Chains A and B, each alone.
Chain A
Amino acid sequence: MCGSSVKYTHLLRSAFLLVFAILLGAVVASRATDAPKRVLVLHAYNYTFPATTIASEAARRRLLEGSQHAIEIEADFLDLARMPGEEHATRTANFLREKYSKMHFDLVLVVGTEGVPFIIKYRDVVGAGVPVVFVGGSAANYAAMQLPPDITGIMSGFDLDKMLELAERLQPNATRLVVMGGSGRADRGWQQATREAIEHRKRKFERAFRFDLTYDAMLAEVSRLPSDTIVLLLSVYADSAGRPLIPRDVAVAVAKASTAPVYAPFGTYLGTGIVGGYVETYESMGIAAGDMALEILSGKDPATLPPRINPGQAFRVDATAMKRFGLKQGNLPPDSIVMFREPGVWDEHRNLVLATLFVVGLQSLFLAGLLFQWHRRRQAELSLRESEERMTFTAASANIGLWQFNRATDELWATQHCRVLFGLARDTPLTRDTFLAAVHPDDRRIAVNALRGILPGERPAVTDLRVVLPAGQERWIRVRARAYRDGLGTSDQLSGIFVDITEQKSAAAEAELQRQEVTHLMRVSVLGELSGAIAHEVNQPLTAILSNAQAALYLLAQDIPDLAQVNEALQDIVKEDNRAGEVVRRLRALLKKGEPKSEPVNINELINMTIALLRNELISRRVTMEIDLADQLPAMTGDPIQLQQVLLNLIMNAMDAMASMPAAARCVTISTRANRARAIEVYVRDRGPGLKPTTGHKLFEPFYTTKDHGLGLGLAICSTIVQAHGGQINLANDEAGGARAAFWLPAQEDLMAAQ
């Protein structure tokens, strides 16, 4: 005891010296090399895999704490388990090359076993010449891989033998052993090693190996085992049906379903309900990898650092799981770490404590109580802080800021990532007012009202705000907030998240703008087709004006001007000028770009206006027009220009359809009627050859066309416009021959109800 404490003092002293030296070194170094060290973290899987998440987070913390340089970390998920196959790997490698083409890294940290073959294979593409530190996998995984000298890392020391020892000690009477594992690539690596480990044990069991089950079959199997069975659960990245799975989630389900104790060689499974194993925590893996990365970043040649086995392994068991299966802590191997002790432990030892209480007295009890409380609180605080940090980091990687706010006191807690989202400087305090100051002035009232109006128990309130960044650009932030009652019964406590939705917002705005643009362009192009007809419409009144004016001028030049004639000519000029103005006004309305409007619309009037525009086109194409408009149509609102575009398109289509018919047969019939469902129906019929049966609904798809010179957008746009008005459009063959386009628009219901 005494010797070891001397050793400790010595160690402490050297540690202090070392820290001092590092600090000193850091000062010198930070002057020498101000350039930050860049680390690329590649997660072999995605964020749903706790093992890699925990390990990478521990490594990240270690790097940031321990480095004498500023550290910049970029991170990506390779997602190799859920997206197997070479195609995905190549695509991902190319993506990374593109993404980081302008960035130099000092180190690549690969988290997760499957990341190692990936980085070896794509070394030329991702992180060429950059040392690699990996985390995860066992020595057996890497034996066959022939790691290049600048790839090193921390390996798991999975000890199947010790796991079996634990199981045998805890279940001295067990006779059956069931080994269960997945069918994925990473899963198969465990099978042989496990078989061998079992062979080497002295105690023999009736064995069953289950590596070929579906997920459901696994759960069914463990749910009917006798309780004196030992269940070993290996990794399950995929089941026999090829369904990708998250091993820890499988462990949760298996442990819950199992009627016998489950053991596993993985630290991630602890806390899922399995009894335990000889395992390490992934946090210790991450810390060891962080240490190794620090060595390399400070200049050590990776070739001199061979892969190491993580030293942090131990017998770890779950007290709750042991209790569930009636396993005795007395049977545990020495130095076992018992985790997840419940407050119930206190009950177990109550008698002992009561006895001690009598002996030691009240003061001791008080002290013991205090100590116990202190321990519990410290544990709770530690795990709270850890889970908070983990959550904060995960949220930040998803570009989400978390916050809590008390409406009564204006107290605000927010994660550091909120700073980034709101463009707040490092030294700005995070208060309600600093956040509000970053919000766009026009949106501040919305922000304040939103927070004020939330009631507890309601669904989260969602508000989108613009934030003005220091450089002046705007960013859209979505605020989701929820109120809940605190201990005092008031509901002033709010919590929520900030999410950057600038991209969605601009994509939506862009799409709407493009839609308007295309609609407008189609109108312009239809009118372009009609340009001759339109020139005619304007030229006719101009002709009358010019001839009248010249006649009047001539009359006035006479010795005795016939003023009555001059007067008539001038009257006609005024009339014709108005007529020309009307044509131009109609055209301008159609050519105008703008947001859709909603105003009272008289569909019959629109039809007449459209036909007026088309009059000359009808004549030159030798098409007659029959019009049958209903007198009493219900009122409706809409965008007159858009609706006129629909009419224009449908009539032009009808004319196009009859181009090959003899002139006498070319007739377009347009009719309206009110139907009983308070809707206005409009029909445009032609007497062309009709629709081919195959074209059917495709006609309304963008870029589908049956015409030689068509863009195939006309009907798609008509359909969009009619649907935006709450109606529907369809195209069918008419019983009388030819095609019939029909659309209906809903009447304005409020108005009808009010009348």
Chain B
Amino acid sequence: MADTPRWIAIVDDDPSVLNALARLLRTRGLVAHTFPSARDFLAALAGGLPECLIVDLQMPEIDGLELLRRLTLSGVRIPTIVITAHNEADARERSAVVGAFTFLAKPLQDTSLLAAIDGARKSARTPGCRSSNNDDEN
């Protein structure tokens, strides 16, 4: 288990955001893998799970919440940070409902992001983190 590579997944349909976030994490010595869509990320899961997932709320086809729902349904638990540029009033609640670890609004302050990643990684090592039983689709 100690040799499990520790990496962070970033899923965002905007390539500029994807690159910038990856660059920011790399400068801090974190390993970041980027995926331009939820489908790409799901396809890569067979190779191993990330320690933490940073996912954009709004994406074409499968959005961030839908991705979380699918992961939960398949019994895969990855502590997830939902980020969004579209700061709707209910986005935070909706993220919590589907079991996101935390929710951050874009643009992201490096300190908040790093703190969130830190928190997410710790929660992964603590078994029995919260789950959701309420599927509130609109």
List chain A positions with a Cβ less than 8 A from chain B: 532-533, 535-536, 539-548, 550-551, 554-555, 565, 568-569, 572, 575-576, 579, 616, 619-620, 622, 624
**Count: A-B pairs, CB below 8 Å:** 91
Interface SS majority for chain B = loop
Quick check: B87 and A547 within 8 Å, CB to CB?
no
B114 to chain A, nearest CB (A): 10
Quick check: A540 and B108 within 8 Å, CB to CB?
no
Segment touching A, from B17-25, B43-51, B118-126, B127-135: B17-25
- Asked whether any CB of chain A lies closer than 8 Å to the CB of B14, the reply is yes
Which 3 residue pairs of A and B lie closest in terms of their CB atoms, listed nearest first?
Answer: A539-B85, A547-B20, A544-B20
19 A-B pairs besides A568-B23, A619-B60 with CB distance below 8 A are: A532-B86, A532-B88, A536-B58, A536-B85, A539-B106, A543-B20, A543-B107, A544-B14, A546-B108, A547-B17, A550-B24, A550-B109, A551-B20, A551-B23, A551-B110, A569-B23, A619-B13, A619-B59, A624-B60
What residue in chain A is nearest B110 (Cβ atoms)? A550
How many of chain B's residues touch chain A, expressed as a range?
20 to 34
Contacts of B28 in A (CB 8 A): 554
What residue in chain B is nearest A620 (Cβ atoms)? B58
B110 to chain A, nearest CB (A): 4
Quick check: A540 and B27 within 8 Å, CB to CB?
no
Are A540 and B17 also in contact (CB < 8 A) when A532-B88, A535-B85, A546-B109 are? yes
What residue in chain B is nearest A539 (Cβ atoms)? B85
Contacts of B4 in A (CB 8 A): none
Contacts of A540 in B (CB 8 A): 14, 16-17, 85, 106
Bound CA–CA A548/B23 (angstroms) = 7
Bound CA–CA A551/B23 (angstroms) = 7
Q: Give the residues from 35 to 90 in chain B that come closer than 8 angstroms, CB to CB, to chain A.
A: 58-60, 63, 83, 85-88
Contacts of A543 in B (CB 8 A): 17, 20-21, 83, 85, 106-108
Task: Give the residue among A543, A616, A620 with the most B Cβ atoms within 10 A.
Answer: A543
Quick check: A544 and B19 within 8 Å, CB to CB?
yes
Quick check: A551 and B24 within 8 Å, CB to CB?
yes
Quick check: A546 and B107 within 8 Å, CB to CB?
yes
Quick check: B87 and A551 within 8 Å, CB to CB?
no
B54 to chain A, nearest CB (A): 11
What residue in chain A is nearest B61 (Cβ atoms)? A622
Quick check: B16 and A541 within 8 Å, CB to CB?
yes
Quick check: B23 and A545 within 8 Å, CB to CB?
no
Task: Give the residue among A536, A545, A576 with the most B Cβ atoms within 10 A.
Answer: A536
Quick check: B86 and A547 within 8 Å, CB to CB?
no
What residue in chain B is nearest A619 (Cβ atoms)? B60
Bound CA–CA A167/B109 (angstroms) = 111
B95 to chain A, nearest CB (A): 15
Contacts of A579 in B (CB 8 A): 16
B138 to chain A, nearest CB (A): 11
What residue in chain A is nearest B111 (Cβ atoms)? A550
Digitize B86-121: 1 where CB-to-A-CB distance is under 8 Å, 0 elsewhere: 111000000000000000001111100000000000
Contacts of A550 in B (CB 8 A): 24, 109-110
Bound CA–CA A545/B19 (angstroms) = 11
22 A/B residue pairs, CB under 8 Å, sorted by A: A535-B86, A535-B87, A536-B58, A539-B107, A540-B16, A540-B85, A541-B16, A543-B21, A543-B106, A543-B107, A544-B14, A544-B16, A544-B20, A547-B24, A548-B24, A551-B23, A554-B24, A555-B27, A572-B23, A576-B20, A616-B58, A619-B59
